[in-house]
Amino acid sequence: MQTPTVLVVEDEPAQREVLAYNLEAEGYSVAQAKNGEEALLLVSEAAPDLIVLDWMLPNVSGIEVCRRLKSRSETRAIPILMLSARSEEVDLVRGLETGADDYMVKPYSVVELLARVRTQLRRSRPSSVGETLEFEDIRLDPETHRVHRGENLLKLGPTEFRLLTTFMEKPGRVWSREQLLDRVWGRDIYVDTRTVDVHVGRLRKALCAHGEDDPVRTVRGAGYALG
């Protein structure tokens, strides 16, 4: 199972540490930012699976960070859990329609915060919290790395497994080769976009090993989609 990454944005060092400590104890990989600028930079370098974002930050406020991330198509889907000091601020966040996915008022219960983080991740990246993914007759278990099509257990390499996980989290969504490189291979490694085609080919072969229909769609000039 892929470890979900959570970005904590909070200028108070003690509060940031407590958040990071508890999220790490829960099994998440945690990145920390002490202000809005740093948060935006970190997100542009590597998109986290979720952001815990404090409202009160020096210079660029949490609301502004949220507004900017939600206005860009590449970062819009990242769930944002906003923290604020007073309930009136939460009302204001709702009123401003910044697009934050959830809100909590300080002081919050850590247990409650972890539950809400998990809820958001289950919605956005179900495989990252161990949820079995299903699409038609294909069933993928992120914890055992087993993939079945109907009754048959499929033989998939690790790259094909990650590729299929990405497809199955958003059936019907068209992924460009660059987006797949980002999601499946990661940004740090240089891989040619043709590599994507090679692995999609291998994935198709594995999915159709028993003569089934090919569920992967090639979208001319755009990329690939499942279904």
Task: Enumerate binding residues for Ca ion (CB under 5 A).
Answer: 11, 54, 56
Q: Nearest distance from residue 80's CB to Ca ion, in Å?
A: 15
In whole angstroms, give the CA distance from residue 141 to residue 27.
Answer: 18
In whole angstroms, give the CA distance from residue 11 to residue 85.
Answer: 13
CB closest to Ca ion, residue no? 56
Q: Nearest distance from residue 48's CB to Ca ion, in Å?
A: 19
Of the two residues 56 and 216, which places its CB atom closer to Ca ion in the complex? 56
Amino acid at 146: R
Q: Nearest distance from residue 87's CB to Ca ion, in Å?
A: 16
Of the two residues 77 and 105, which places its CB atom closer to Ca ion in the complex? 105
Q: Which alpha helices (H) appear in 97-190, and where do they start and end?
A: 110-124, 158-169, 177-180
In whole angstroms, give the CA distance from residue 42 to residue 180.
Answer: 20
Asked if residue 94 lies in contact with residue 103, where contact means CB atoms within 8 angstroms, the answer is yes
Of the two residues 82 and 129, which places its CB atom closer to Ca ion in the complex? 82
Q: Nearest distance from residue 36's CB to Ca ion, in Å?
A: 11
Amino acid at 171: P
Q: Nearest distance from residue 172's CB to Ca ion, in Å?
A: 39
Token pair, residue 116, equals 């809400």
DSSP 8-class letter at 3: P
Q: Nearest distance from residue 175's CB to Ca ion, in Å?
A: 36
Burial class (CB in 10 A: 0-12, 13-18, 19+), 83: buried
Of the two residues 9 and 140, which places its CB atom closer to Ca ion in the complex? 9
Of the two residues 12 and 91, which places its CB atom closer to Ca ion in the complex? 12
Of the two residues 13 and 157, which places its CB atom closer to Ca ion in the complex? 13
Q: Nearest distance from residue 99's CB to Ca ion, in Å?
A: 20
Judged by DSSP in three states, 221 sits in coil
Give strand ranges (E) for 79-137: 80-84, 102-105, 133-135
DSSP 8-class letter at 29: E
Of the two residues 54 and 169, which places its CB atom closer to Ca ion in the complex? 54
Distance in angstroms between the alpha carbons of the first and the last residue of the chain: 24
